[in-house]
Amino acid sequence: MTSANYLHTAYLLAKKANSSNIRPNPFVGAIVVDHNGQIIGEGYHQKAGEAHAEVIAINQALLKNMDLSSCTLYVTLEPCSHTGKTPPCTNLIIEHKIQKVVIGSMDPNPLVSGVNILTDAGVDVEICVLPEIVELNSTFNINQINKRPKYVLKSASTINGKIADRLGNSKWISNEESRNYVHQVLRSNTDAILTTANTIIKDNATMNIRLADAEPTELNLIIVDRTLSILSSENEGLGIFYDRKFTKIYLLTDQKYADTLPQHIEIIKANFSEGTINFGGLNEIFLRKNICEILVEAGGKLNASLIKQQLIDEMVLFVCPSLLLDNEAINVLNDSTFQSIENKLQLKLIESRQMNDDLMIKYKLLY
């Protein structure tokens, strides 16, 4: 097997982790291979604050072979070299005299210098970057490099880009398979949904995770609500006010609110300009609250504003076999600023999938 083959095995291990359990940490998988090419230890990071993948793999290998000096460690991410909630993995590698380490992606965290430390200690280090490994940690990389959450915009539209009629009615444009994908994949892998008070009130949306044959799972909710309309008495019965044990509703406003709020509701002061919210000062707050990835389920105005602020990293569009022949119907993106064809924003296709008659298209935005 090649280095890429072994790293792919480690990658499959890394994918076993649940994102909600490891955040803000990355997905990491590791295997220890002996001189005969046999895997004698494997592991993946399972929970933030607990053992790293390298530690699990090395400890498993030690049960089979006390001498690891002729072994190779394959790990999907550059081993950590600093003390956080756990000791540096580089120390353990050097301690057991592992002769070679093959790395599938570099750690963007400036505190990590695992390659240099291992090389200085005489370890043979090979860097073999695999695109699928880099993509697996896109959220972590954005958190570290851009100092903000990863933003994923999800929308279901007609063929001509309408997400609701002019009255705001949108149930249902997409089919059941598409909606199931939203819950099973998009909502289940995010830390919070970002939307507007208007969307919540119009749809009476619960914005939780609903899977077949399972109780709904609560999910953090971030609502742009400048006038704090969500807190008015007529909206007390909204579906978002279910019993929350672990999550919160964050209201983004520039208004003051003097009354006492329930523990699960928190107001975050935001900056608004010409009716548009500026997220520049909010991203650090979100990261401090361990909101590392945000799923945007909103209307055309907020969608367009987030793109203009260069915050949307990926778009997941469900294009559905219907038409709304009304210029006043609501668009996926709604902005009246002139933009020439020369200044169009380019996208890169990541994935496409047919879901019965719907088409799911996933793009990365290239700012």
- Provide the annotated active-site residues: 54
Output the DSSP codes for 265-317. Answer: EEEEE-EEETTEEE-TTTHHHHHHTT--EEEE---HHHHHHHHHTT-EEEEEE
Helix (H, G, I), strand (E, B) or coil at 167: coil
Radius of gyration, CA atoms only, the chain: 23
Give me 131's structure tokens: 């695109």
- Give the amino acid at 332: V
Helix (H) / strand (E) element for 239: namely: none
Calculate the alpha carbon distances from 310 to 123, 235, 303 in Å.
41, 33, 11
Sign, Cα dihedral of 290, 295, 298, 300? positive
**Is residue 53 within 8 Å of 28, Cβ to Cβ?**
yes
